[in-house]
Amino acid sequence: MTKIISICNQKGGVGKTTTTINLGVGLVGAGFRVLLIDADSQANLTTAMGFDPEEVTFGLPEVIDGIINEQEFVTTDAVLSHKEGVDILPSHIGLSNTEVRIFSAMNRERLLRTYLEKIKYEYDYILIDCMPSLGMMTINALTASDSVIIPCQPHYLSARGLEQLSHTIAKVKRYMNPDLRIEGILLTMVDNRGKFVKEISSLLRSQYGESINIYKSEIPLSVRAAESSAEGRSIYAHDKFGKVANAYKELTKEVIHGAENKRRKNKAENVR
Ligand code: ATP
Ligand code: MG
């Protein structure tokens, strides 16, 4: 059974792309087949995996346009393979025009879902790197997903932004995708040298921890993370034994564990 997860937060620069890549490559390391989707017109994921968005002639924008126009195309045409074992559905700046066209399309919230229904059987996990907005492309990602991971810097978590995001997720759940759930909040760029970091982290855990899963693994702030995306590879290839790689390895375990629990629960409910 494929698990589709959106990595989403409308706040910019919180580690969505970095998390999509390193969780994705982590899942490959654990033996899973993984597709990463670049659902951002900035195409940072495409670049950070070493591909040039300007050379992408058939990526997510073309796939979505193809679905809008009901064109027949080979469904895996757009998929690139990365040497670290993940597949990538790349993007480019044209996604912003596509997003405008989505507005007037039939079934506009479900275009990405329609595509993923055709290819999902080839993967165990599909991770969607969302753009920093709650526009139509993000709504498409949420409608296509089983769950959402929200990367967030600790000192922003209590801000209104999270409320807006929860509101959007609740709306998608109500109207488009009743099974959508929040997989968890991931604390990113955690600067352990900061004065109140531990206090903020435990305050958040006591404030939200009951209602939303906050991952035990926290991603530390480290220049290694930024270096690895500049080099077009994951943190495991760049700094295998470093603290960021370790933290993403732990996150990968938590995500796999969460998926197994969910599967067991579904099975038990079906038996009943
Ligand atoms: P956007 O909203 O623009 O899509 P994003 O949420 O996807 O941003 P990233 O691109 O993953 O965020 O990260 C923002 C910047 O911070 C990048 O330059 C990235 O290399 C860097 N970065 C990511 N994680 C870390 C970390 N743990 N420590 C230090 N720098 C990091
Ligand atoms: Mg990004």
Q: 46-76 pLDDT, tens per residue?
A: 999 999 999 999 999 999 999 999 888 778 8
pLDDT in tens, 218-272: 999 999 999 998 999 999 999 999 999 999 999 999 999 988 888 788 788 777 6
CA 18 to chain centroid: 9
Q: Are 253 and 260 in contact (CB under 8 A)?
A: no
Check if 21 has its Cβ closer than 6 Å to any atom of ligand 1: no
* 18 touches ligand 1 (CB under 6 Å): yes
Q: What's the pTM value of the predicted model, to 2 decimals? A: 0.95
Q: Which atom of ligand 1 is the closest one to the Cα of 131?
A: 4
In the block, tokens 């589709």 appear at 4
| Residue 10 CB neighbour total at 10 angstroms | 18
Residues 212, 7, 95, CA angle at the centre, nearest 5°? 145
User: How far apart are the two ends of the chain, measured CA to CA in Å?
Assistant: 20
Residue type, 101: R
Ligand 1: which of 10, 14, 18, 191 to mutate, most ligand atoms within 8 Å of CB? 18
Computed from CA positions of residues 184, 185, 188, 190, in that sequence, does the dihedral angle turn out positive or negative?
negative
pLDDT band at 157 (very low <50, low <70, confident <90, very high): low
Residue with tokens 């999509």, as numbered in its chain: 20
Domain with residue 169: its CATH number is 3.40.50.300
A 10 A CB-CB count for 171 gives 13
Residues lining ion ligand 2 (Cβ < 5 A) are 16-17, 44
Q: Is the CB of 244 under 6 A from ligand 1?
A: yes
Number of domains into which the chain is organized: 1
| Percent of the chain whose pLDDT exceeds 70 | 97
State if residue 189 touches ligand 1 by the CB under 6 angstroms criterion: yes
Signed CA dihedral, 262, 172, 140, 189: sign only: negative
pLDDT tens, position by position, 107-145: 999 999 999 999 999 999 999 999 999 999 999 999 999
Does the C-beta of 238 come closer than 6 Å to ligand 1? no
Kindly give the residue spans of alpha helices, DSSP state H, lying in 136-219: 136-144, 160-175, 197-208
Ligand 1 pocket: which of 17, 41, 235, 248 to mutate (most atoms within 8 A of CB): 17
Which domain covers residue 260, as residue numbers? 3-271
Q: In terms of Cα–Cα distance, which of 37, 36, 102 is closest to 66?
A: 102
Local structure of 272: helix, strand or coil: coil
DSSP H/E element including 182:
strand 181-187
Phi-psi region at 128: left, alpha or beta (left = phi > 0; alpha = psi -120 to 50): beta
Contact 183 CB / ligand 1 (< 6 Å): no
